[in-house]
Structure 1
Amino acid sequence: MNFKLKALAWLAPALCACLLPPASLAQSPAPYPSQPIHIVVGFPPGGVPDTLARILAEKTKLDQPIVVDNKPGAGGNLGGETVSRAKPDGYTVMMGGIATHSINGSIYPNLPFDMVKDFSPILLVASTPNVLVVHPSVPAHNLAELIALAKAQPGQLTYGTPGIGTSPHVAGEMFNSLAGVQLRHVPYRGRALAVPDLLGGHIATMFDNLPSALPAIREGKVRALGITSLKRSASAPDIPTLAEQGLSGFEADSWLAIFGPGKLPPEIQNKLAAEAQRVFSLPEVQTRMKALGMDPIVLGPNALAAHQRSEIAKWAKVIREAGIKAE
């Protein structure tokens, strides 16, 4: 082999190496998001959390679809566990709220996740008050009359709930404490089983989510005595609050928020928060939410984190004092 051939043989590997892309460029990740995003809802289709998740899926402009995954069970804990264990890459988030991220930690002794450490707050979306309703046969047309009736018949008046530890349950126990009465708790396995008994007069009262209760209220099938927010709802401004009727400071709203797995990278957390904030700030979306009985909030990660801390402390006290325990 002459000198020139030897030189070419020696240079060939180096030339080939120069033609290959640098390893760092070949392995650089695609811009987020590069695949569908799954939003987990820990409750069945058709409820408020599911509705909000589907609004986000419908209106998003992230160049990738958002897929709603309903994983009902254990008061929302099944969905919470799924997201808490997901890879923190922004492709699995959840529509959580008062149950999964403030109440359940005090109800379930073996909760399979930490409500704070295992999640990254993204957006506080909306709140919805519970509403105290009674069967029309109950001789009480306002809060004062109901309290007088309950005190005259301690332990006789019943209130139904979708189950132990649900937001209507803890609202009822807060009511018992502040009003000084003893409404008797009757837990059901879901709202779908509780409402027929209320409509049939088998239970006297119920704290129900306002969006769910509005149709029956408007049809006169139940009588609304007061809502559990500090101010009246734009969805039902004629229903007074319990606070303005004498239960000062009474507030037991359900709230909905988007969380990702813990240790979500800040750039992904902020991108998701910005897009969700854009969607839930749209005038047509806010109008739709109000028509369904929800009050839009739309606040980012820091505000959601502060709200969650406050709610955990508030409901832990109520649950402890009432002795509420999961079955």
Structure 2
Amino acid sequence: MQEKKTDHFRRRLLPACAAMALAFAVPATALAQAWPTRPVKILVGFPPGGVADIMARSMAPLMSETLGQPVVVESRAGANGNVAADAVAKAPADGYTLAMTSTGIESVNPYLFSRMPFDPAKDLAPVAAAGRIQLFLTARPGLPASDVESFVRYAKAHPGKLSFGSAGSGSTPHLVGELFKQSAGIYAVHVPYRGAAPALQDLLASQIDFFFDPGISFANVRAGKLKMLAVASGQRSPLFPEVPTLAERGYKNMDYDTWFGLFAPAATPPEVRQRLNEAANKALANEGLRSRFREVGGEATPMTAEAFKGIARKEAVVFGQLIKDRDIQAD
């Protein structure tokens, strides 16, 4: 008798469990299909007119077409991307607030700042890569050097006399400059600026001697106002095919592009993050967007969120140690 009751209970319980499982599965599917129902905001962690800003504003209208909702871009610059990233880390985890920033938010800032207002590894989730920017070793016209070899010889003959600018302490152009100094065995004084644009202006005015340009000096190079000596990348730039890479000149560990991408609050549902990744990758396949990226020395890089995360992890090994060894601190 007891066995019959048990069998009867099981026959009633199994369909009920199946129904409950289906009920829990439906919300995730429904969320992926229904989202978004209102505008999506992208907070750019760097100044207006910079590469990150250009990337975000190029991607926004194309992502909007795919998502069916406006994608608006807002500047939230400061603290090497921390201001925008902190706002996103503390935003509701619903996919409506994203950060456009560099991989340095995870590979540099935790080592650079003595205190972080959030934990990038725990509070943010990568959504999609946007693109990578090559860095160009660019010098003032009056510097008596026409190539990397003569530049290094001059720097060694005048230790401490040269200065180089960057978009700020801990920015990729700064760290690549430090890596180059280390690799070439030269010494130059670092001058941090609040953005690459003011660094370029001082280079044109010969207030500094060189900098690793993130793609804003092209017009001045073509006009003969500046010298482009090399590319700190694994390949030559199609915009300046005659300019060699540092690796070609014997500096084998100088392949460091600046990577930018979209980040969301860590608890954002996976289904929403996947929709954002698909919308971003579709935008990055657009030839008009790819052409715009190339104008500033960039390359659109559609990929999975996991692959983008891997780039930050790889950078952290090199940059984290460099920041420690050189005692680099935030401005």
TM-score (norm 2): 0.87
In the TM superposition, what are the counterparts of 1:75-90 in structure 2 within 5 Å? 75-90=80-95
Paired residue secondary structure (2:138): strand
Partner of 2:209: 204
Q: How far is 1:145 from its partner?
A: 0.6
**Larger helix percent:** 2
Instruction: Name which one, 1 or 2, has greater alpha-carbon Rg.
Output: 1
Please say if 1:120 is aligned against 2:125.
yes
- Residue pair 1:280, 1:286 contacting (<8 A) in 2 also: yes
- Residue pair 1:236, 1:293 contacting (<8 A) in 2 also: no
Partner of 1:242: 246
Match of 2:158 among 131, 137, 153: 153
Q: How far is 1:201 from its partner?
A: 1.4
Partner of 1:307: 311
Stretches of structure 2 lacking an aligned partner (at least 5 in a row): 1-23
Q: How far is 1:284 from its partner?
A: 2.3
Paired residue secondary structure (2:247): coil
Q: How far is 1:187 from its partner?
A: 2.0
Match of 2:324 among 301, 320, 323: 320
Question: Number of aligned pairs?
Answer: 301
In the TM superposition, what are the counterparts of 1:120-269 in structure 2 within 5 Å? 120-210=125-215, 212-269=216-273
Q: How far is 1:64 from its partner?
A: 0.5
- Whole-Å Cα distance in 1 between the matches of residues 197 and 55 of structure 2? 20
Q: How far is 1:79 from its partner?
A: 0.3
Q: How far is 1:123 from its partner?
A: 1.0
Q: How far is 1:244 from its partner?
A: 0.8
Query: Structure 1 residues 92-101 or 82-91, which shifts more?
Result: 92-101
Give, as a single letter, the amino acid of the residue that structure 2 aligns with 1:216.
Answer: N
- Whole-Å Cα distance in 2 between the matches of residues 121 and 283 of structure 1? 24
Aligned-residue sequence identity (percent) comes to 35
- Whole-Å Cα distance in 1 between the matches of residues 231 and 120 of structure 2? 27
Q: How far is 1:278 from its partner?
A: 0.5
- Residue pair 1:38, 1:91 contacting (<8 A) in 2 also: yes
Give, as a single letter, the amino acid of the residue that structure 2 aligns with 1:44.
Answer: P
Give, as a single letter, the amino acid of the residue that structure 2 aligns with 1:304.
Answer: F
Q: How far is 1:72 from its partner?
A: 1.2
Partner of 2:280: 276
- Residue pair 2:46, 2:101 contacting (<8 A) in 1 also: no
Paired residue secondary structure (1:285): helix
Q: How far is 1:109 from its partner?
A: 1.3
**Shift in alpha-carbon separation, 1:290–1:118, aligned structure 2, 3 A:** same
Paired residue secondary structure (1:299): coil
Give, as a single letter, the amino acid of the residue that structure 2 aligns with 1:37.
Answer: V
- Residue pair 1:102, 1:115 contacting (<8 A) in 2 also: no
Paired residue secondary structure (1:111): coil
- Residue pair 1:98, 1:167 contacting (<8 A) in 2 also: no
- Whole-Å Cα distance in 1 between the matches of residues 72 and 241 of structure 2? 35
- Residue pair 1:165, 1:324 contacting (<8 A) in 2 also: yes
Give, as a single letter, the amino acid of the residue that structure 1 aligns with 2:278.
Answer: A
Q: How far is 1:188 from its partner?
A: 2.5
Please say if 1:36 is aligned against 2:39.
yes
- Whole-Å Cα distance in 1 between the matches of residues 194 and 56 of structure 2? 23
Give, as a single letter, the amino acid of the residue that structure 1 aligns with 2:231.
Answer: I
- Residue pair 1:233, 1:295 contacting (<8 A) in 2 also: no
- Whole-Å Cα distance in 2 between the matches of residues 287 and 194 of structure 1? 25
Please say if 1:56 is aligned against 2:59.
yes
Paired residue secondary structure (2:34): coil
Partner of 2:7: none
- Residue pair 2:47, 2:195 contacting (<8 A) in 1 also: no
TM-score (norm 1): 0.88
Partner of 2:291: 287
Paired residue secondary structure (1:123): strand
Per-residue CA deviations over 1:189-221 (Å, capped at 9, x if unaligned) read: 3333322221111211111112x1211111111
Give, as a single letter, the amino acid of the residue that structure 1 aligns with 2:116.
Answer: L
Query: Any runs of at least 4 consecutive aligned residues in structure 1 with deviations exceeding 3 A, and if so which?
Result: none
- Residue pair 1:131, 1:225 contacting (<8 A) in 2 also: yes
Per-residue CA deviations over 1:31-60 (Å, capped at 9, x if unaligned) read: 100010001101222111111111121112
Q: How far is 1:287 from its partner?
A: 2.1
